Structure 1
Amino acid sequence: MLQLSQVGVTGRLAPFSAQIAAGLQVHLIGPNGAGKSSLLARLAGLLPGDGTIALDGRPLDDYQAGELARRRAYLSQQQPPAALMPVFQYLALHQPVGAAAQAVENAMLYLCQSLKLTDKLSRMLQQLSGGEWQRVRLAAALLQVWPSINPHSRLLLLDEPTSALDVAQKVALDRLLHEFCHSGRSALVCAHDLNHTLQQADRVWLLQAGQVVRQGVTHEVMEPALLSQIYEVDFHMQSTGNQRWIMTTTA
């Protein structure tokens, strides 16, 4: 579905190659400044760089802006409200071109109910709290590529999507991402919660100082010895029932 051949960003990310099959949730992890945001922006087609990115066998550079918007959605790490408009109008700007009005309304209602936004639809963007604004941004990105209204969508790129979300909202987002990927689409998520990645990710790309140092299935990458080396913190694995947790080691 997504193929990367020697993809890099000068001064930010060393070239590397990888591929992502349909239906996977891939997490990008690593210390601050590792190059995760640069990689997501490069994959979104918003940052120039080296190498070739192919989506469904077609180079990303060959897509027109409108075509690319139908196939992938991108949530940047930070974006303050830039326009004076209510939430429902902001969401409407992200609906796929050509989607049936009733289907869009149903999808928007479903996403807003899931993210607890139905009572915020008439509120002005500037009146939202940080957590509310983050949920609105997530709803907009999801609406753009939601399977029921966009049959062309393939990819969701999220840079620290759980920022400012509480526990219940994180669970709601997990459910939506699972549903999105279960439809045969893929999501790349920049994440900092290692245990969340351990429980939710199908694949992990581990970055350090502008390099992808390891990529693979989750249990192969999320090894305490490797993470301790990258983060310069001592980790160990704790098992509780059927769950495994990454814990810091105290002296």
Structure 2
Amino acid sequence: MLKLSSVSVEGRISDIALDIEAGQWWTLLGPNGAGKSSLLSVCAGLEQYDGNIAITPRLTLQTQAHSDKPNSDKTNSDKTHSDKTNSDKTHSDKTHRNKHCAALRDLPLSQLSAFRCMLTQQHQLQFHLSVSELFSFFTALDNIPAPIDDALSITELIDQAFHQLSGGEQQRVHLARNLMQVWPAIETGSALLILDEPLQQMDVRIQIKSLTLFQSLASLGNTIIMSDHDINHALHFSTHCLLLKGGRQLKHGPSQEVLSLENLERLYQHKFEWIERADSHTVRKYCVARAD
């Protein structure tokens, strides 16, 4: 879905190269000031950058594929043509993908906003609104989708004044608002979800329910790129990790391969160790920072 080549933002990130496929969940890990937020803003199309980012908006692909479906009353000659097309499937698929691959900087925000959301760390509202009014301003949905409400328990907040909510409650609302913005794309597995520390200030129970929701959304084909400070979230939930330090990528790839003690100690300049916990089904390992 996204291919980054030599992407840089002066003074913040340098020479980032990534190939992010649809359905993957990438977690960005790194110390404060490593460039995580800057990279997320670039991937969202909200930041000027040097280098290249190619994007294949799957929403566009699915719309085109739907319009190209043959009718049930096609003639025999059409069937012959269809058979030939099937025999050339590899070539045509490659051509189709290339046709719809675009430079991220060339896509208007109006097109991006149909399938891409960006949850930032800082939020400012100039007016005192209820949660319900906030949703009516920023989303086109009349109702909160059940998976969002199940994970974030938004219904219990819906009539409350947003400015009177706790920090964690406000974060739940903002996360729900972003997901609702692109919910039609999410339902078809076409969304790009860019989330900057989406779990900050949330209770542990809501954090785990949110991570489980993200996992289910990725299983539909949606792509997730998020930052986090919890190594174990990345280890047990995300499919891929990018380790950022000083604006440069230290390591990237499948989470289980990237999150080694050696890589983490290089990243954070601190010692870690593994602990194991067994249940009736499996043994899971957890990364903990050493106190010595």
What TM-score do the two structures reach when normalised by structure 2?
A: 0.79
- Tell me what 1:215 maps to: 252
User: Counterparts of 1:1-251 in structure 2 under 5 Å?
Assistant: 1-56=1-56, 57-95=101-139, 104-108=141-145, 110-147=147-184, 151=188, 153-241=190-278, 242-251=283-292
Is the 1:70–1:153 contact (alpha carbons within 8 Å) kept by the matching residues of 2?
no
- Residue by residue, what CA displacement relative to the aligned partner does 1:107-154 show, whole Å, maximum 9, x if unpaired? 445423431121211222212111111000000011112247764842
- Tell me what 1:101 maps to: none
Moved over 6 A (4+): none
What secondary structure, in the 3-state scheme, does the structure 2 residue paired with 1:70 have?
A: coil
More helix by share: 2
1:180–1:64 distance in 2 versus 1, CA, 3 Å: same
Is the 2:186–2:217 contact (alpha carbons within 8 Å) kept by the matching residues of 1?
no
1:247 deviation in Å?
1.9
What secondary structure, in the 3-state scheme, does the structure 1 residue paired with 2:139 have?
A: coil
CA distance in 2 between partners of 1:149 and 1:114 (Å): 15
Larger of the two Rg values belongs to structure: 2
- Residue by residue, what CA displacement relative to the aligned partner does 1:145-195 show, whole Å, maximum 9, x if unpaired? 224776484200111111010011112211221121111111011010111
Is the 2:194–2:226 contact (alpha carbons within 8 Å) kept by the matching residues of 1?
yes
1:121–1:43 distance in 2 versus 1, CA, 3 Å: same
CA distance in 2 between partners of 1:89 and 1:152 (Å): 28
CA distance in 2 between partners of 1:47 and 1:18 (Å): 17
- Residue by residue, what CA displacement relative to the aligned partner does 1:206-234 show, whole Å, maximum 9, x if unpaired? 00011011101112110111211221111
Please provide the CA RMSD for this pair. 1.8
- Structure 2 residues without counterparts, runs of 5 or longer: 57-100
1:89–1:110 distance in 2 versus 1, CA, 3 Å: farther
What secondary structure, in the 3-state scheme, does the structure 2 residue paired with 1:176 have?
A: helix
Give aligned-pair identity as a percent: 34
Paired residues, number: 244
1:17 deviation in Å?
1.2
Is the 1:107–1:146 contact (alpha carbons within 8 Å) kept by the matching residues of 2?
no
Is the 2:186–2:222 contact (alpha carbons within 8 Å) kept by the matching residues of 1?
no
State the AA in 2 paired with 1:224. L
1:78 deviation in Å?
1.6
Is the 2:250–2:267 contact (alpha carbons within 8 Å) kept by the matching residues of 1?
no
Is the 1:107–1:149 contact (alpha carbons within 8 Å) kept by the matching residues of 2?
no
Report the more deviating stretch, 78-87 or 40-49: 78-87
State the AA in 2 paired with 1:128. L
Report the more deviating stretch, 34-43 or 77-86: 77-86
Is the 1:159–1:191 contact (alpha carbons within 8 Å) kept by the matching residues of 2?
yes
Report the more deviating stretch, 31-40 or 228-237: 228-237
1:27 deviation in Å?
0.2
1:95 deviation in Å?
2.6
What secondary structure, in the 3-state scheme, does the structure 1 residue paired with 2:34 have?
A: coil
1:166–1:231 distance in 2 versus 1, CA, 3 Å: same
CA distance in 2 between partners of 1:118 and 1:90 (Å): 13
